[in-house]
Structure 1
């Protein structure tokens, strides 16, 4: 549960924008609009974009700003119901059965009603999100859905349709109030249209230079102003190249933080070469810059 006092939902796009800004998230009006509509219409928000552009951060800021609990389901290949929704505490159930047998209980139905109760139900993120709690419905972040298998995506479609889960031993568990759902994907595969139709869609793009500079000012306020400007310009120009993975906003923040920790107040060839592993994460991209492309980008940055 968030320590912050629960706050009412924003009543306008401007209030939504203020909520994001107060949480340190520099958003444009288009994002604030779709987020406001998602909250108002109680529809999941489907955020798509390259890794590192700030999709996950939106859910975190939203939860903090509204004083709601953040429940995160990190998707991966092989994710199944027992990991994402619920499972039974089998060890505790076996102990209960042994105790019942020792007490002379032999009635099967009586024994089943004892072991298949909520006492032994382990709630995973999906069921936890539907359960809610004090302070209003939680923010349910389904992160990197494209990493999960299509079978789990189909199951999730059923959950988001009616905000309920069927537990054979207990029956149907429904949410009293739908959670605020934020789904992110890096587009490593396409998500089925049936799920997208239930959501409000927004593409989270790389920020322009002015907005990225504002992000650095908020996230790395102790960074030298000239350094921040050169870091942003360098990252912006790298995104124009055909790299295997262009640097995201997260990498820009990390690079500015690292350079500040090293006491740098401007970029030079040696500094760029020594710290390129903070900005780029693939050796082929780093090698390309070390072979001369990096100096060209640096020259362009210095030339303004």
Structure 2
């Protein structure tokens, strides 16, 4: 442990699996006290148990990020237990695909928007006051919003998902400008993963409704064909980017996009035989 976020308190939504779990674990390894929230009441405590066993400090709080009353409770609990909040990682999200946008139901559109966009809005609305109180004493804080490569460019069959992640991208920039104008010391940035090997690939409905049968998705094969680096990313690699943004090493970075996608957004290149 090098202690890049030693002494900080970090809130990670969607922390029970995938990228969120990797973020929670790495922030803990680097010295932060971690509050991870999720709707998964089975895996969340398991992640906390692993962090605790490794010598870190973490708690799990059950949370549906679309519930405004629950947000008030979560931040209240953090203030009671820790008295501060230095880092917010607004990571919770879902992906709902459809063969065509005309086949996507309004119910699925609204559910995805509620989690991916409303949940991020509520995370900032309720975390910022405590973060500002903390920053007044420490001199800074960091909000990291999880967007996607799909928030930077179009994605067939994922128009609704792209709409939410593109919204997160500009929401992050706008909040960054608000914080800068107030001089509150809070930096705000977005992270844009590409094809990352996580459980979400098995949870993306491919039909017109959330209950549609999932089509098998070969994450590694897809990445090999579409990614200049020729492989899928690992959740830990995204977590390392979030650690940078959460730490004082990124003290002059706000309103920016950290793209971690194996080169996909940069362009395409033929794969040469090794």
Per the TM superposition, whether the score is higher than 0.5 is no
Q: Which has the higher helix share?
A: 1
Name which one, 1 or 2, has greater alpha-carbon Rg. 1
Bucket of the pairwise TM-score, normalised by the shorter protein: 0.3 to 0.5
Relative to the length of structure 2, the TM-score reads: 0.33
